[in-house]
Amino acid sequence: MNRVLVRYGSMASIGSYKTEETTWRKGDKCVVRSERGTELGEIVVPAEELPKDEERTTVGSVLRRARKEDMDQVKRIEEEIAPQEENFCRSTIKDHKLPMRLVSVEHLLGGEKIIFYFISEGRVDFRQLVKDLATK
């Protein structure tokens, strides 16, 4: 078993991922299964052998090299889906008169999750907002 370091997500997280493949190079695009779901990633450290005692330190697995369909899906998410999700969230925040600002929206490649990033001056009770977003 090998491991690679992969940068993934809009927050540019870096994690250690298991892989069978040994030919990964820095900059290669890949699809990973992270703790959050299926995501597009980029190799930042090429494949190296994973010592047995470190197998539990990985955060997921590399599923495959990114294909054209994956890149097309990312483009569709960024250009069509995420802006709609962002507009809905902004209007819902406004409807609830919440003192918070939406910073960005991250829609995972596999569609398992949509992550909304917010900032605010203090604590905000946004439980109803979460319920409204979950029903959409």
Tens digits of residue pLDDT in 74-92: 999 999 999 999 999 999 9
In this predicted structure, the answer to whether residue 51 has a pLDDT above a threshold of 80 is no
Which pLDDT belongs to residue 82? Answer: 93
The answer to whether residues 82 and 99 belong to one domain is yes
Q: Domain boundary residue among 29, 44, 66? A: 66
| d(C-alpha 58, C-alpha 14), whole Å | 11
Q: Domain boundary residue among 51, 66, 81? A: 66
The answer to whether residues 34 and 86 belong to one domain is no
pLDDT category at 47 given cuts 50, 70, 90 is confident
What is the pLDDT averaged over residues 24-51? 93
The answer to whether residues 56 and 91 belong to one domain is no
Could you tell me if 93 and 60 are in contact, meaning their C-beta atoms sit under 8 angstroms apart?
Answer: no
Which pLDDT belongs to residue 33? Answer: 96
The answer to whether residues 25 and 58 belong to one domain is yes
Could you tell me if 100 and 130 are in contact, meaning their C-beta atoms sit under 8 angstroms apart?
Answer: no
Task: Please enumerate in sequence order all residues whose Cβ is within 8 A of that of 58, keeping only pairs 6 or more positions apart, or say none.
Answer: 3, 15, 16, 17, 18, 50
The answer to whether residues 44 and 61 belong to one domain is yes
What is the pLDDT averaged over residues 8-25? 93
pLDDT category at 128 given cuts 50, 70, 90 is very high
The answer to whether residues 56 and 87 belong to one domain is no
> Structurally, how many domains does the chain consist of?
2
The answer to whether residues 20 and 61 belong to one domain is yes
The answer to whether residues 62 and 75 belong to one domain is no
Range of the domain at 35: 2-66
Q: Domain boundary residue among 66, 97, 116? A: 66
The answer to whether residues 114 and 95 belong to one domain is yes
What is the pLDDT averaged over residues 94-120? 95
The answer to whether residues 58 and 76 belong to one domain is no
| Residue 134 neighbours by CB distance under 10 Å | 8
The answer to whether residues 60 and 82 belong to one domain is no
Which pLDDT belongs to residue 135? Answer: 87
The answer to whether residues 56 and 99 belong to one domain is no
In this predicted structure, the answer to whether residue 49 has a pLDDT above a threshold of 90 is no
Whole-number average pLDDT of the chain: 93
